[in-house]
Structure 1
Amino acid sequence: MIVRIAALVLSFLLVGGGAYAQARPSGPPSATVRIKQLQVAFIGSGAIGGGTLRFRNRSYDITVGGLGIGGIGASRLTATGSVYGLNQVEDIAGAYVQIREGWAIGGQGRGTLWLRNAKGVMMRLATQRRGLQLSLGADGVLIGFKQ
Protein backbone atom coordinates (compact mmCIF):
# COMPACT_ATOMS: atom_id res chain seq x y z
CA MET A 1 0.00 0.00 0.00
CA ILE A 2 2.81 2.45 0.83
CA VAL A 3 4.46 1.79 -2.53
CA ARG A 4 1.14 2.38 -4.28
CA ILE A 5 0.61 5.73 -2.53
CA ALA A 6 4.21 6.81 -3.22
CA ALA A 7 3.82 5.98 -6.91
CA LEU A 8 0.56 7.96 -6.97
CA VAL A 9 2.23 11.01 -5.41
CA LEU A 10 5.14 10.94 -7.83
CA SER A 11 2.97 10.53 -10.91
CA PHE A 12 0.66 13.40 -9.93
CA LEU A 13 3.56 15.68 -9.12
CA LEU A 14 5.43 14.88 -12.30
CA VAL A 15 2.41 15.24 -14.56
CA GLY A 16 1.02 18.47 -13.15
CA GLY A 17 -1.12 17.24 -10.29
CA GLY A 18 -1.18 20.71 -8.75
CA ALA A 19 -3.27 22.14 -11.58
CA TYR A 20 -5.50 19.05 -11.49
CA ALA A 21 -6.24 19.48 -7.79
CA GLN A 22 -6.79 23.24 -7.92
CA ALA A 23 -9.73 23.26 -10.36
CA ARG A 24 -12.72 24.65 -8.48
CA PRO A 25 -16.05 22.77 -8.36
CA SER A 26 -19.24 24.15 -9.84
CA GLY A 27 -22.61 23.63 -8.24
CA PRO A 28 -23.68 22.92 -4.68
CA PRO A 29 -21.98 20.37 -2.40
CA SER A 30 -23.33 16.82 -2.55
CA ALA A 31 -22.02 15.70 0.86
CA THR A 32 -19.99 16.74 3.90
CA VAL A 33 -16.97 15.13 5.50
CA ARG A 34 -15.10 15.26 8.82
CA ILE A 35 -11.57 13.83 9.09
CA LYS A 36 -9.15 13.36 12.00
CA GLN A 37 -5.56 12.56 11.11
CA LEU A 38 -2.04 12.38 12.52
CA GLN A 39 0.52 13.98 10.18
CA VAL A 40 4.31 13.74 10.40
CA ALA A 41 6.69 15.49 8.01
CA PHE A 42 10.41 15.91 7.49
CA ILE A 43 10.86 16.73 3.80
CA GLY A 44 8.66 13.68 3.10
CA SER A 45 5.34 13.40 4.91
CA GLY A 46 2.95 10.71 6.07
CA ALA A 47 -0.54 10.68 7.54
CA ILE A 48 -3.04 8.19 8.92
CA GLY A 49 -6.57 8.65 10.21
CA GLY A 50 -10.25 8.36 9.53
CA GLY A 51 -13.52 10.20 9.58
CA THR A 52 -17.15 10.36 8.61
CA LEU A 53 -18.82 11.04 5.29
CA ARG A 54 -22.38 12.38 5.44
CA PHE A 55 -24.17 11.64 2.12
CA ARG A 56 -27.94 11.59 1.44
CA ASN A 57 -28.86 11.63 5.15
CA ARG A 58 -26.58 8.66 5.97
CA SER A 59 -23.20 8.51 7.71
CA TYR A 60 -20.31 6.36 6.47
CA ASP A 61 -17.05 5.66 8.35
CA ILE A 62 -14.00 6.25 6.14
CA THR A 63 -10.26 5.69 6.43
CA VAL A 64 -7.71 8.25 5.26
CA GLY A 65 -3.98 7.70 4.67
CA GLY A 66 -1.29 9.26 2.56
CA LEU A 67 2.31 10.06 1.69
CA GLY A 68 3.80 13.18 0.17
CA ILE A 69 6.54 15.77 0.01
CA GLY A 70 7.02 19.11 1.72
CA GLY A 71 6.87 20.20 5.33
CA ILE A 72 8.49 19.61 8.68
CA GLY A 73 7.09 18.68 12.10
CA ALA A 74 4.14 16.73 13.47
CA SER A 75 0.53 17.63 14.14
CA ARG A 76 -2.95 16.31 14.70
CA LEU A 77 -5.33 17.53 12.04
CA THR A 78 -9.10 17.91 12.14
CA ALA A 79 -10.68 18.79 8.80
CA THR A 80 -14.29 19.51 7.94
CA GLY A 81 -15.77 20.53 4.65
CA SER A 82 -17.82 20.01 1.55
CA VAL A 83 -17.74 17.24 -1.05
CA TYR A 84 -18.60 18.03 -4.66
CA GLY A 85 -19.44 15.75 -7.58
CA LEU A 86 -20.35 12.72 -5.46
CA ASN A 87 -23.17 10.90 -7.26
CA GLN A 88 -22.89 7.50 -5.55
CA VAL A 89 -21.25 6.77 -2.20
CA GLU A 90 -18.73 4.32 -3.73
CA ASP A 91 -17.12 7.18 -5.69
CA ILE A 92 -15.61 8.65 -2.49
CA ALA A 93 -13.18 5.70 -2.24
CA GLY A 94 -9.90 5.84 -4.11
CA ALA A 95 -6.75 7.84 -4.65
CA TYR A 96 -6.76 11.63 -4.40
CA VAL A 97 -4.19 14.30 -5.13
CA GLN A 98 -4.03 16.90 -2.37
CA ILE A 99 -2.75 20.47 -2.35
CA ARG A 100 -2.18 21.77 1.16
CA GLU A 101 -1.08 24.85 2.97
CA GLY A 102 -1.11 25.57 6.64
CA TRP A 103 0.79 25.74 9.91
CA ALA A 104 0.60 24.63 13.52
CA ILE A 105 2.27 25.91 16.68
CA GLY A 106 0.98 24.39 19.90
CA GLY A 107 -2.81 24.53 20.06
CA GLN A 108 -3.18 27.03 17.21
CA GLY A 109 -3.09 26.29 13.48
CA ARG A 110 -5.24 26.52 10.40
CA GLY A 111 -5.14 25.69 6.72
CA THR A 112 -7.07 24.59 3.67
CA LEU A 113 -7.00 21.30 1.74
CA TRP A 114 -8.32 20.67 -1.77
CA LEU A 115 -8.59 17.01 -2.80
CA ARG A 116 -9.71 15.50 -6.10
CA ASN A 117 -9.94 11.94 -7.39
CA ALA A 118 -10.11 10.49 -10.91
CA LYS A 119 -13.91 10.08 -10.62
CA GLY A 120 -14.32 13.88 -10.37
CA VAL A 121 -15.08 13.94 -6.63
CA MET A 122 -13.62 17.05 -4.99
CA MET A 123 -13.34 18.10 -1.35
CA ARG A 124 -12.67 21.52 0.10
CA LEU A 125 -11.63 21.14 3.73
CA ALA A 126 -10.98 23.72 6.42
CA THR A 127 -8.32 22.36 8.76
CA GLN A 128 -7.30 22.91 12.36
CA ARG A 129 -3.95 21.59 13.58
CA ARG A 130 -2.39 21.00 16.98
CA GLY A 131 1.33 20.43 17.23
CA LEU A 132 4.40 21.94 15.60
CA GLN A 133 4.39 21.77 11.81
CA LEU A 134 4.95 23.91 8.73
CA SER A 135 3.19 22.38 5.76
CA LEU A 136 3.36 23.31 2.08
CA GLY A 137 3.40 20.70 -0.66
CA ALA A 138 1.46 17.98 -2.41
CA ASP A 139 0.37 14.53 -1.33
CA GLY A 140 -1.35 11.43 -2.53
CA VAL A 141 -4.28 10.49 -0.29
CA LEU A 142 -6.07 7.15 -0.22
CA ILE A 143 -9.65 7.11 1.09
CA GLY A 144 -11.58 3.93 1.78
CA PHE A 145 -14.43 2.57 3.88
CA LYS A 146 -13.84 1.15 7.36
CA GLN A 147 -14.39 -2.58 7.45
Structure 2
Amino acid sequence: MTTIRQTAVSLAAFLMLASPAMAQSRSLGPATGTVSIEQVQAGFVASGEVGGGTLRYRGHSYPITVGGIGLGSIGASRTVASGTVYGLKNRADLAGAYVQLKEGWAVGNQGRGSVWLQNDKGVTLRLAARRQGLQLSLGADGVLIGFKQ
Protein backbone atom coordinates (compact mmCIF):
# COMPACT_ATOMS: atom_id res chain seq x y z
CA MET A 1 0.00 0.00 0.00
CA THR A 2 2.87 2.37 0.80
CA THR A 3 4.36 1.88 -2.68
CA ILE A 4 1.02 2.74 -4.32
CA ARG A 5 0.75 5.86 -2.15
CA GLN A 6 4.33 6.90 -2.98
CA THR A 7 3.68 6.35 -6.68
CA ALA A 8 0.49 8.42 -6.51
CA VAL A 9 2.32 11.24 -4.71
CA SER A 10 5.14 11.13 -7.29
CA LEU A 11 2.62 11.26 -10.14
CA ALA A 12 0.76 14.18 -8.58
CA ALA A 13 4.02 16.09 -8.01
CA PHE A 14 5.13 15.38 -11.57
CA LEU A 15 1.85 16.63 -13.04
CA MET A 16 1.94 19.80 -10.95
CA LEU A 17 5.51 20.52 -12.05
CA ALA A 18 5.15 19.32 -15.64
CA SER A 19 2.13 21.44 -16.56
CA PRO A 20 3.99 24.78 -16.24
CA ALA A 21 7.10 23.32 -17.89
CA MET A 22 5.15 22.04 -20.89
CA ALA A 23 3.25 25.32 -21.22
CA GLN A 24 6.51 27.24 -20.90
CA SER A 25 7.97 25.48 -23.97
CA ARG A 26 6.23 28.03 -26.16
CA SER A 27 7.78 30.97 -24.27
CA LEU A 28 11.38 29.82 -23.81
CA GLY A 29 12.66 32.06 -26.56
CA PRO A 30 15.33 31.12 -29.07
CA ALA A 31 17.65 28.17 -28.57
CA THR A 32 21.02 29.20 -27.13
CA GLY A 33 22.86 25.87 -27.43
CA THR A 34 22.56 22.10 -27.56
CA VAL A 35 23.47 19.35 -25.14
CA SER A 36 23.99 15.60 -25.37
CA ILE A 37 24.11 13.40 -22.28
CA GLU A 38 24.83 9.72 -21.65
CA GLN A 39 24.04 8.31 -18.21
CA VAL A 40 23.15 5.21 -16.25
CA GLN A 41 20.02 5.25 -14.07
CA ALA A 42 18.75 2.81 -11.47
CA GLY A 43 15.90 2.91 -9.02
CA PHE A 44 13.12 1.36 -7.07
CA VAL A 45 10.82 4.32 -6.32
CA ALA A 46 13.93 6.36 -5.38
CA SER A 47 16.47 6.66 -8.20
CA GLY A 48 20.03 7.70 -8.94
CA GLU A 49 21.86 8.61 -12.10
CA VAL A 50 25.42 9.38 -13.13
CA GLY A 51 26.99 10.30 -16.46
CA GLY A 52 28.37 13.02 -18.66
CA GLY A 53 28.03 14.66 -22.01
CA THR A 54 28.75 17.72 -24.13
CA LEU A 55 27.45 21.27 -24.24
CA ARG A 56 27.67 22.99 -27.63
CA TYR A 57 27.56 26.75 -27.15
CA ARG A 58 28.64 29.62 -29.43
CA GLY A 59 30.62 27.37 -31.74
CA HIS A 60 32.53 25.50 -28.99
CA SER A 61 32.08 22.11 -27.31
CA TYR A 62 32.48 21.70 -23.54
CA PRO A 63 32.52 18.34 -21.68
CA ILE A 64 30.05 18.19 -18.76
CA THR A 65 29.25 15.87 -15.85
CA VAL A 66 25.72 14.94 -14.77
CA GLY A 67 24.51 13.26 -11.58
CA GLY A 68 21.38 13.20 -9.50
CA ILE A 69 18.87 11.53 -7.21
CA GLY A 70 15.10 11.52 -7.28
CA LEU A 71 11.73 9.77 -7.12
CA GLY A 72 9.62 7.96 -9.65
CA SER A 73 11.70 5.21 -11.25
CA ILE A 74 11.71 1.43 -11.19
CA GLY A 75 14.45 -0.61 -12.89
CA ALA A 76 17.75 0.26 -14.54
CA SER A 77 18.71 1.70 -17.91
CA ARG A 78 21.39 3.38 -19.97
CA THR A 79 20.10 6.66 -21.36
CA VAL A 80 21.36 8.75 -24.24
CA ALA A 81 19.62 12.13 -24.41
CA SER A 82 20.06 15.16 -26.61
CA GLY A 83 18.25 18.40 -27.10
CA THR A 84 18.08 22.13 -26.86
CA VAL A 85 19.33 24.63 -24.30
CA TYR A 86 17.32 27.81 -23.66
CA GLY A 87 18.17 30.90 -21.62
CA LEU A 88 21.95 30.37 -21.50
CA LYS A 89 23.54 33.83 -21.42
CA ASN A 90 27.07 32.65 -20.60
CA ARG A 91 28.65 29.20 -20.38
CA ALA A 92 29.06 29.28 -16.59
CA ASP A 93 25.27 29.52 -16.10
CA LEU A 94 24.88 25.89 -17.20
CA ALA A 95 26.69 24.56 -14.10
CA GLY A 96 24.64 24.04 -10.94
CA ALA A 97 21.56 22.38 -9.51
CA TYR A 98 18.52 21.56 -11.64
CA VAL A 99 15.02 20.26 -11.11
CA GLN A 100 14.43 17.47 -13.62
CA LEU A 101 11.03 16.24 -14.80
CA LYS A 102 11.18 12.90 -16.57
CA GLU A 103 8.97 10.31 -18.20
CA GLY A 104 9.98 7.28 -20.16
CA TRP A 105 10.40 3.55 -20.43
CA ALA A 106 12.91 0.94 -21.51
CA VAL A 107 12.51 -2.74 -22.40
CA GLY A 108 15.68 -4.26 -23.84
CA ASN A 109 17.01 -2.13 -26.68
CA GLN A 110 13.71 -0.29 -27.09
CA GLY A 111 12.94 2.76 -25.02
CA ARG A 112 12.04 6.41 -25.20
CA GLY A 113 11.40 9.34 -22.95
CA SER A 114 11.56 13.07 -22.49
CA VAL A 115 13.38 15.14 -19.92
CA TRP A 116 13.00 18.76 -18.82
CA LEU A 117 15.64 20.38 -16.60
CA GLN A 118 15.61 23.92 -15.23
CA ASN A 119 17.98 25.77 -12.90
CA ASP A 120 17.66 28.95 -10.85
CA LYS A 121 19.63 30.96 -13.44
CA GLY A 122 16.85 30.60 -16.03
CA VAL A 123 18.56 27.86 -18.05
CA THR A 124 16.20 25.19 -19.39
CA LEU A 125 17.17 21.93 -21.10
CA ARG A 126 14.56 20.12 -23.21
CA LEU A 127 15.82 16.63 -24.12
CA ALA A 128 14.60 13.58 -26.01
CA ALA A 129 15.94 10.33 -24.55
CA ARG A 130 16.69 6.86 -25.91
CA ARG A 131 16.87 4.19 -23.20
CA GLN A 132 18.17 0.62 -23.03
CA GLY A 133 17.44 -1.73 -20.13
CA LEU A 134 14.33 -2.44 -18.09
CA GLN A 135 12.88 0.70 -16.52
CA LEU A 136 9.75 2.80 -16.07
CA SER A 137 10.22 6.46 -15.11
CA LEU A 138 7.71 9.13 -14.17
CA GLY A 139 8.86 11.63 -11.60
CA ALA A 140 11.21 14.39 -10.55
CA ASP A 141 14.91 14.50 -9.68
CA GLY A 142 17.50 16.88 -8.37
CA VAL A 143 20.40 16.98 -10.83
CA LEU A 144 23.84 18.57 -10.67
CA ILE A 145 25.56 19.58 -13.90
CA GLY A 146 29.20 20.64 -13.92
CA PHE A 147 32.09 21.12 -16.29
CA LYS A 148 34.87 18.51 -16.54
CA GLN A 149 38.28 19.92 -15.74
What's the TM-score once normalised by structure 2's chain length? 0.85
Aligned to 1:72: 74
Runs (5+) with no aligned partner, structure 1 = 1-12
Aligned to 2:38: 36
CA RMSD, 1 decimal? 1.4
User: How far apart are the structure 2 equivalents of 1:120 and 1:26?
Assistant: 10
| Alpha-carbon shift at residue 26 of structure 1 (Å) | 2.6
Aligned equivalent of 1:99: 101
1:54 to 38, 43, 56: 56
Q: For the Cα contact (< 8 Å) 1:65–1:142, is it kept in 2?
A: yes
Identity %: 61
Measured in 1, the distance between the counterparts of 2:147 and 2:21 equals 22
The corresponding residue for 1:27 is: 29
Aligned-partner SS, 2:31: coil
| Offset at residue 49 of structure 1 (A) | 0.2
Q: Is the contact between residue 37 and residue 48 of structure 1 (CA under 8 Å) also seen in structure 2? A: yes
Count the aligned residue pairs: 133
**Structure-2 separation of matches of 1:38 and 1:72:** 13
Q: Which amino acid aligns with 2:38?
A: K
Instruction: Show the counterpart of 1:118.
Output: 120
Name structure 2 gaps, 5 residues minimum: 1-12
Q: Aligned equivalents of 1:92 and 1:30: distance in 2? A: 11
Q: Aligned equivalents of 1:20 and 1:117: distance in 2?
A: 14
> Conserved in 2, the CA contact under 8 Å of 1:17 and 1:97?
no
In structure 1, C-alpha distance between the alignment counterparts of 2:100 and 2:134, rounded to whole Å: 20
Distance 1:125 1:35 in 2: 9
Aligned to 1:3: none
Match of 2:111 in 1: 109
**CA distance in 2: counterparts of 1:90 and 1:84, whole angstroms:** 14
Aligned counterparts of 1:110 and 1:98: Cα–Cα separation in 2: 16
CA drift at 1:19: 5.7
Provide the C-alpha distance between the structure 2 equivalents of 1:71 and 1:100, rounded to a whole number of angstroms. 9
